[in-house]
Structure 1
């Protein structure tokens, strides 16, 4: 699965580098993972291959969880994910895009207790819908609703604030 994920990411990068008429944008993500039950903050890079297709990569860090297990001891949980998605801009105008999306995700979890830690990572698939609106030539806002299908399904609503080059 890791080899497949790396091959797909390499294909996205290759496709983006050979495209002639693209545009780049970078930004911040704010969202919430329903399975993890935590908000996240992240970064995003998007490349517009042409008017119909975009590729987007993101890294999201979920706010940590700390639980008191008694006797003054805590267990801490940390999560992060990496995503690579393709957007098909099915409905688009001069200032907006509405799209279905599909892609790959990798979710990493780490638990720490009394100096001992354990971590686990899983690959999965992203499926969802989204949209963006260009406020100016250089600034845009986006919203996505997607399902991360890993060992179950996590619903991930997210807002992005993007600077376009």
Structure 2
């Protein structure tokens, strides 16, 4: 199930990049992120698709590594649909503001439930809002390192700090 979800998300991102905009400014990226609520590291993919001067649409997906503590297994992932507005652009460094929507899915597996069952599982998904900022470091090639920080406003809000590379496609 998880593999199908990741594969579907990747196809959506690639399809969006190729269908929406055939310009050279479209980028596809990979990142490492840290979430303060889950207190764990995750990996993700994102895209950056120009729609207007200084404005890009940036879909993204982050999967946090599973976490096991005190007999509870936690699985957490998020899908983001952001708008990046570039307010400072120069030859080596481009700063942008982030605003968008977030869907976070959390699944708990308990080794022993309080009702005597051998195990119990529950999951929840919530919609939220992303606010943040990021920077692209232009190094003069088709590869662009970047860093982002965003706050996800949702029940169980968290700060997400991420860094990675974007590839021009």
Normalising TM by the smaller chain, what interval? 0.7 to 0.9
CA distance in 2 between counterparts of 1:49 and 1:102 reads 15
**2:144–2:166 contact (8 Å) kept in structure 1:** yes
SS of match in other structure, 1:123: strand
**2:45–2:61 contact (8 Å) kept in structure 1:** yes
Residue 113 of structure 1: how far off its partner (Å): 2.3
CA distance in 1 between counterparts of 2:22 and 2:166 reads 21
Residue 75 of structure 1: how far off its partner (Å): 1.8
Bigger fraction of residues in strand: 1
Cα gap change, 1:108/1:157 in structure 2, threshold over 3 Å: closer, same or farther? same
Cα gap change, 1:152/1:32 in structure 2, threshold over 3 Å: closer, same or farther? same
Where does structure 2 lack aligned partners over 5 or more consecutive residues?
A: 1-14, 112-118
Where does structure 1 lack aligned partners over 5 or more consecutive residues?
A: 1-12, 69-73
Partner residue in 2 for 1:132? 136
CA distance in 2 between counterparts of 1:93 and 1:48 reads 17
Partner residue in 2 for 1:157? 161
CA distance in 1 between counterparts of 2:87 and 2:150 reads 17
2:59 to 57, 60, 74: 57
How many residues align structurally? 147
Superposed counterparts of 1:53-132, under 5 Å: 53-68=55-70, 74-114=71-111, 115-132=119-136
Residue 95 of structure 1: how far off its partner (Å): 3.5
Residue 22 of structure 1: how far off its partner (Å): 6.1
CA distance in 2 between counterparts of 1:90 and 1:149 reads 23
- Per-residue CA deviations over 1:94-125 (Å, capped at 9, x if unaligned) read 33310111000011000112443110000000
Runs of 4+ that moved beyond 2 A: 16-23, 48-51, 113-116
